[in-house]
Amino acid sequence: GNVYLAVNVETDDQVALKILKDISTEDDESVIRFEKEVAVSAKLTNPHTVRVFEFGKTNEGYLVIAMEYLQGTPLSHAIKNDSPLSPKRAVHVVRQTLEALAEAHVMGIVHRDLKPDNMFLLDEAQSGETDFVKVLDFGIAKFLHDDSVGDTLTRDGFVFGTPLYISPEQALGWQVTPASDIYSLGVVLFEMLTGETPFTAETPIGLGMKHIYEPPPLDRIKVQEGSVSALKRLLALMLEKRPERRPANAAAALALFESL
CB atoms within 10 A of CB 257: 17
Reduced to 3 states, what is the DSSP secondary structure of residue 39? Answer: helix
| Tens digits of residue pLDDT in 27-74 | 677 788 788 888 888 999 999 999 999 998 888 888 899 999 999 999
What residues of the chain score a pLDDT lower than 50?
147-161
Instruction: Kindly provide the b/e burial profile for residues 221-251, where b requires at least 16 CB atoms within 10 angstroms of the residue's own CB.
Output: beeeeeeeeebbebbeebbbbebeebbebbb
The H or E element that residue 29 is part of is helix 28-41
What pLDDT, on a 0 to 100 scale, did the predictor assign at position 259?
Answer: 83
Amino acid identity of residue 13, one-letter, is: D
Distance CA 230, CA 208 (A): 27
Contact in structure between 158 and 146 (CB atoms under 8 Å): no
Contact in structure between 182 and 245 (CB atoms under 8 Å): no
Distance CA 43, CA 115 (A): 22
What pLDDT, on a 0 to 100 scale, did the predictor assign at position 158?
Answer: 41
What pLDDT, on a 0 to 100 scale, did the predictor assign at position 151?
Answer: 42
Distance CA 154, CA 150 (A): 10
pTM score: 0.90
Contact in structure between 131 and 121 (CB atoms under 8 Å): yes
> How much is the mean pLDDT over the chain?
88
What pLDDT, on a 0 to 100 scale, did the predictor assign at position 35?
Answer: 86
Question: Phi first, then psi: what are they for 248, rounded to 5°?
Answer: -65, -30
Contact in structure between 249 and 182 (CB atoms under 8 Å): yes
The stretches of 42-138 forming alpha helices (DSSP H) are 75-82, 87-106, 124-127
Distance CA 256, CA 214 (A): 25
Q: Which residues are tagged catalytic? A: 113
Distance CA 188, CA 89 (A): 13
- Cα-atom radius of gyration of the chain, to the nearest Å? 18
Distance CA 119, CA 93 (A): 9
What pLDDT, on a 0 to 100 scale, did the predictor assign at position 150?
Answer: 41
Contact in structure between 18 and 65 (CB atoms under 8 Å): yes
The H or E element that residue 19 is part of is strand 14-20
Nearest to 94 by CA among 73, 121, 112: 121
Distance CA 236, CA 73 (A): 28
What pLDDT, on a 0 to 100 scale, did the predictor assign at position 249?
Answer: 98
